[in-house]
Amino acid sequence: MRVEGLRDRLAEEGVVRLDTARGPYVARLAGGRPVVHGALCPHRGGPLEDAYLVEGMLICSWHRSTFRAGDGRAVYGPACADLDVVPARFDGDDLVVEWPGEPSGA
């Protein structure tokens, strides 16, 4: 999936919701790199657009479940499941999300 012109928008807004055929996701910058993850916390469905990003960790604002931004692994809190994180990269100004099972660059 390619989202045109998202680099500048992420730089300005910090977090952008992506409504996809696979459900809602969130794109954000973490350490200058794009991270695309599920929009809802696996614990109780808290909106992860509001999550705090601290030292490479995403912290849900509802119950403080904490996930590694790079791979979504749950590291603290009540969440019993990892967060879905999808590989993403910039191609010029565009964000390219590399969904599992799709050809690279789709």
Query: Average pLDDT, stretch 6-15?
Result: 93
CA 78, CA 30: separation in Å to the nearest integer? 23
- What average pLDDT does the chain have? 93
| pLDDT given at position 103 | 64
- Whether the predicted pLDDT of 43 surpasses 90: yes
- Read off the pLDDT band of 26 (50, 70, 90): very high
pLDDT value, residue 104: 60
The upper half-sphere exposure of residue 44, i.e. CA atoms within 13 Å in the direction of its Cβ, equals: 9
Q: Whose CA is closest to 98, among 80, 85, 81?
A: 85
> What strand order describes the sheet that includes 94-97?
2-3, 94-97, 88-91
User: What's the pTM?
Assistant: 0.90
Please say whether the dihedral angle defined by the alpha carbons of residues 106, 12, 45 and 36, taken in this order, is positive or negative: positive
